[in-house]
């Protein structure tokens, strides 16, 4: 970072000297120098003070503007072996039909190790090791919603929350199965092979934020506090951090404040 700043500052000094040498007969050249100088000075300010829009590492969202098979985000970190989990996130769907796939976790031996998917006219489903539970969540009103899904291998018990309220629960979902480690977490696409072979008809279109994973089932009060923005609890397995999320294919990052934007339609 320091080396980049030094290079930019050196370029600024060079441009300033050129600006001083430019006379009124070379107004276009002087205009071009001024334009590049302003751009470089803005870049130095970003490096010194952080990029405009958001500064806390978790205060961002991922936007996937079009439903296709190449826009997505990927978490740099994977999961360890898990015997229980809670996965929470904010999302705002812009889909005309099914919600698509907000997230998927694939391992070499199982493409559908953990998937949240609503495809076409089918109900929203949580898949674990290719076993399916239907979730009574309603997320297609083009508004922000906070959702959590929690599961434990003991009897395959699961529960689903929307905006802090438990909407569904059950058992016998992949009972006694251990979530396999060292897979790939993708936001916005369903994986048919490890990290790829996406299907545009199963893609999520909209905005995602605050994706987190815990290695246990959170208490209902903890989930309510996350949805109400009275808690800053971060996942103890996966945290939402700007440096930990890569975007691809035209997906982008922007500022997001859950307590302000999360309640807007």
CB under 8 Å to 140, separation ≥6 — which residues?
Answer: 93, 95, 99
How much is the average pLDDT of 47-55?
54
The CATH number given to whatever domain includes residue 193 is 2.60.120.200
Asked whether the beta carbons of 248 and 70 are under 8 A apart, the reply is: yes
54 located within any domain:
no
Q: Are residues 171 and 76 in the same domain?
A: yes
Q: Are residues 20 and 100 in the same domain?
A: no
Q: Look at residue 112 in the predicted model and tell me its pLDDT.
A: 95
Q: What is the C-alpha separation between 226 and 163, in angstroms, rounded?
A: 9
* Domain extent for 14: 2-49
Q: What is the C-alpha separation between 77 and 190, in angstroms, rounded?
A: 18
pLDDT in tens, 143-197: 999 999 999 999 999 999 999 999 999 999 999 999 999 999 999 999 999 988 9
Q: What is the C-alpha separation between 10 and 194, in angstroms, rounded?
A: 45
Q: Decide: pTM greater than 0.75.
A: yes
Is residue 238 scored above 50 in pLDDT? Answer: yes
Report long-range pairs for 220-226 (Cβ below 8 Å, ≥24 apart): 220/161, 220/166, 223/86, 223/88, 223/148, 223/150, 223/161, 223/164, 224/164, 224/165, 225/164, 226/88, 226/146, 226/148, 226/164
Residue 88: closest CA among 240, 195, 199: 240
Q: Look at residue 159 in the predicted model and tell me its pLDDT.
A: 98
Q: DSSP states of 105-148 as a string?
A: EEETTEEEEEEEEE-TTSPPEEEETTEEEE------SSS-EEEE
pLDDT in tens, 110-153: 999 999 999 878 889 999 999 999 999 988 888 999 999 999 99
Asked whether the beta carbons of 37 and 19 are under 8 A apart, the reply is: yes
97 located within any domain:
yes
55 located within any domain:
no
Is residue 55 scored above 80 in pLDDT? Answer: no
Q: What is the C-alpha separation between 193 and 197, in angstroms, rounded?
A: 6
Share of the chain above pLDDT 90, in %: 65
Is residue 47 scored above 90 in pLDDT? Answer: no
Query: Which residue did the predictor score with more confidence, 204 or 16?
Result: 204
Asked whether the beta carbons of 207 and 89 are under 8 A apart, the reply is: no
Q: What is the C-alpha separation between 45 and 52, in angstroms, rounded?
A: 9
Q: Are residues 163 and 36 in the same domain?
A: no
Query: Which residue did the predictor score with more confidence, 31 or 205?
Result: 205
CB atoms within 10 A of CB 98: 20
Distances in Å between the Cα of 36 and the Cα atoms of 26, 31, 76, 142, 159 are 16, 9, 34, 40, 55
Highest mean pLDDT among 12-16, 24-28, 88-92: 88-92
Q: Are residues 221 and 257 in the same domain?
A: yes
Q: Are residues 132 and 241 in the same domain?
A: yes
Q: Look at residue 187 in the predicted model and tell me its pLDDT.
A: 98
Residue 75: closest CA among 102, 108, 110: 102
The CA radius of gyration of the chain, in Å to the nearest whole number, is: 22
Task: Please tell me the total count of domains within the chain.
Answer: 2
């Amino acid at each position: 970072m320091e080396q980049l700043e030094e290079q930019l500052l050196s370029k600024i000094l060079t441009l300033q000297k050129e600006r001083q040498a430019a006379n009124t007969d070379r107004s276009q050249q002087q205009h071009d120098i001024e334009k590049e100088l302003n751009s470089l000075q803005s870049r130095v300010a970003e490096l010194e003070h952080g990029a405009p829009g958001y500064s806390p590492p978790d205060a961002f969202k991922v936007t996937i503007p079009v439903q296709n098979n190449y826009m997505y985000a990927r978490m740099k970190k994977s999961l360890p072996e898990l015997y229980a989990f809670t996965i929470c996130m904010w999302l705002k769907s812009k889909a005309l039909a099914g919600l698509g796939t907000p997230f998927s976790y694939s391992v070499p031996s199982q493409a559908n190790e953990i998937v949240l998917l609503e495809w076409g006219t089918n109900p929203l489903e949580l898949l674990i090791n290719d076993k399916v539970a239907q979730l009574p969540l309603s997320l297609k009103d083009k508004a922000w919603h906070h959702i959590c899904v929690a599961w434990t291998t003991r009897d395959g018990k699961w529960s689903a929350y929307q905006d802090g309220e438990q909407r569904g629960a059950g058992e016998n979902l992949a009972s006694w199965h251990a979530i396999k480690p060292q897979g790939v977490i993708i936001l916005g696409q369903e994986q048919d092979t490890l990290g790829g072979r996406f299907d545009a008809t199963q893609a999520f279109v909209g905005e995602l934020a605050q994706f987190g994973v815990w290695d246990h089932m959170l208490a209902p009060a903890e989930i309510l506090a996350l949805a109400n923005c009275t808690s800053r609890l971060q996942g103890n397995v996966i945290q939402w951090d700007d440096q930990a999320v890569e975007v691809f294919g035209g997906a982008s990052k922007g500022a997001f404040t859950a307590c302000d934007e999360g309640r807007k339609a």
